[in-house]
Structure 1
Amino acid sequence: MSKTTAELKTIGFTPLIYHSDQPLFHVSAGVPIVDALTQASDLLSLAKSFAEDAAYAKDTDRHAWAAHYLTAMSKAVIDDVVKVLTPRPVRTATESEE
């Protein structure tokens, strides 16, 4: 049974913002992908504004770091949605037994 796009939800497999090779955060499972993509768009809009501010504010790098973290969060959400939308290869009976 295939689901419509409106029924698809994030799977929560995508980590983000690492420290010592361990992710500090990950995308939560169960968020409708339309809502997830809307949030990613909002995050990217903020990141764009911070990046523009960073280009003009030479006395601090806080705008650049804010843009960095917002884009990392946005990328993780989009990557998680892509994992939901990308069809998995069909496994054969032999592959399933291995």
Structure 2
Amino acid sequence: MTETDQHGLAHLKTVGFTPLLYNSDQAFFNVRAGIPIIDALSQSSDLLSLAKSFAEDAAFIKDTDRHAWAAHYLTVMGKALIDDVIQALTHRPARTDTESEVDVPVRF
């Protein structure tokens, strides 16, 4: 990567297309557009680290499933951030102000 490329990547931001946590076929949440990708990756790393800890607890604590559910939700959020960063890196066009949440394509 050239020095110019590195400078360009530092200014990339999330595109805000990635939905997460569904009820039937409707997403409850989407990653917000405009977050610097370095911040999104850092947050994703924190979420996935916590999910790993909860998953380990779930493996050893058999009397409740709350650790497993916490790991699940943290993993979903971390994955959504990474997926949105990937979309920013692949130069997907940003959503326009006229597009509604209903018009946003569902991606998995």
Quick check: TM above 0.5?
A: yes
How far apart, in 1, do the equivalents of 2:44 and 2:83 lie?
Answer: 10
Aligned counterpart in structure 1 of residue 53 of structure 2, from 49, 55, 69? 49
The structure with the larger Rg is 1
Residue equivalent to 2:29: 25
Q: Which residue of 1 aligns with 2:18?
A: 14
Calculate the TM-score normalised by the size of structure 1.
0.85
Task: Give the gaps of 5 or more residues in structure 1.
Answer: 89-98
Moved over 3 A (4+): none
Structure 2 residue 80 is matched with structure 1 residue 76: yes
Task: Determine the structure 2 residue equivalent to 1:91.
Answer: none
For the aligned residues, what is the CA RMSD?
1.4
Tell me the percent identity.
71
Tell me the number of residue pairs that the alignment of Structure 1 and Structure 2 aligns. Answer: 87
CA shift for structure 1 position 87: 4.3
Q: Matches of 1:87 and 1:40 in 2, distance apart?
A: 20
Whether 2:8 is the aligned partner of 1:4: answer yes
What letter corresponds to residue 9 of structure 1 in structure 2?
Answer: K
